[in-house]
Amino acid sequence: MKISLFDSPQVVADGVANATRAQGAGLYRYWSPQVMNADTMMTLATVAAAVPDIQLGTSVMAMQTMLPQTMAQQSRTLNQISGGRFTLGIGVNHKPVVTSRWGLPWDKPYSRFVEYLDALQPLLAGDAVDVTGEFVSHNTAIAVPGEAPGLMLAALGPKMLNLAGERSGGTITWMTGPNTIADHIRPNLDNGGGGEIVAGVSMVVTGSDEETVNARDWANKALAIYPQLPSYRAVMDREGATEAADLVLIGSAEEVRAGIDSYQNAGVDEIALNLIGSPEQNDQSWGLIQTLV
């Protein structure tokens, strides 16, 4: 199982520093999500220029945030800058975000995503596209030479997992436990043709029982949105998790290592570790990560 870093910096220079540390520790890839922090694509472009060897990926870009042409242009440009190291992770954002924050429609998200891929994938490959759909229509081409980037889809439900297996290199999960990956994610991905599973997992290495309790409290606050989102609540229920901290690896180095091993035993191909502790705890987490690599 490959070991990677999942990182969402507010300051781009911090992303470069973290990616540099990840490369020095022998990690495989630097993943960055599209959230409310520094722009993901610009951060990765800066990292690509500053850190020469580590693989790069988005985990994930929301299809609602840009047209397929723009997504393809940015992705091919980033792959050009990085010398072929970029994988575009893309998915559908959640209804509360799409409707309440962005004021966009939510009807038929799966159908919208399929049509979005119909327009996006030829452009990612460097080809012209001419498609007319109910939701997405594109008659265009781009001129960005170089290799096509990799593509992975965020998927939790059976239809989306089947689609990921059919149309991409696999799926990227978040807040999804090892039992759910083994019993639900892998079978449904394989039903669509298979692919790799990248599991995004938060971790905190602690030095005492009191630290562990405090870290759980912090994790529940920091990740409070996820139990409220239906798609994540469903996989949490499937895993038997009652709160967000149940899906964070928290404890001694030995306990966290055992948790990481459980993802490997579940069939995960790559684990992207998100360090969410204090600076001192994160240093302990880095120490553990280096022993894993």
Q: Per-residue pLDDT for the chain (293 aa), expressed as one digit of tens each?
A: 999 999 999 999 999 999 999 999 999 999 999 998 999 999 999 999 999 999 999 999 999 999 999 999 999 999 999 999 999 999 998 777 768 777 878 789 999 999 999 999 999 999 999 999 999 999 999 999 999 999 999 999 999 999 999 999 999 999 999 999 999 999 999 999 999 999 999 999 999 999 999 999 999 999 999 999 888 999 999 999 999 999 999 999 999 999 999 999 999 999 999 999 999 999 999 999 999 98
Q: Is 260 a domain residue?
A: yes
- pLDDT score at 97: 74
Q: Is 84 a domain residue?
A: no
Give me 283's structure tokens: 């240093």
- Whether the ω angle into residue 60 lies within 30 degrees of 0, i.e. cis, is yes
Q: Is 140 a domain residue?
A: no
Question: CA-to-CA distance for 1 and 109, rounded, in angstroms?
Answer: 32
Q: Which amino acid, 82?
A: S
Which residues, listed in sequence order, are joined to residue 138 by a DSSP beta bridge? 131
Phi, psi dihedrals of residue 232, rounded to the nearest 5° = -75, -35
Domain that includes residue 264, residue range: 171-293
Residue 233 sits in a domain of what CATH number? Answer: 3.20.20.30
Considering only CA atoms, give the Rg of the chain: 19
Number of domains in the chain: 1
Question: CA-to-CA distance for 271 and 155, rounded, in angstroms?
Answer: 16
Burial (CB < 10 A; 0-12, 13-18, 19+), residue 208, is exposed
Q: Is 5 a domain residue?
A: no
Residues 6+ apart with CB under 8 A from 17: none
Q: Is 197 a domain residue?
A: yes
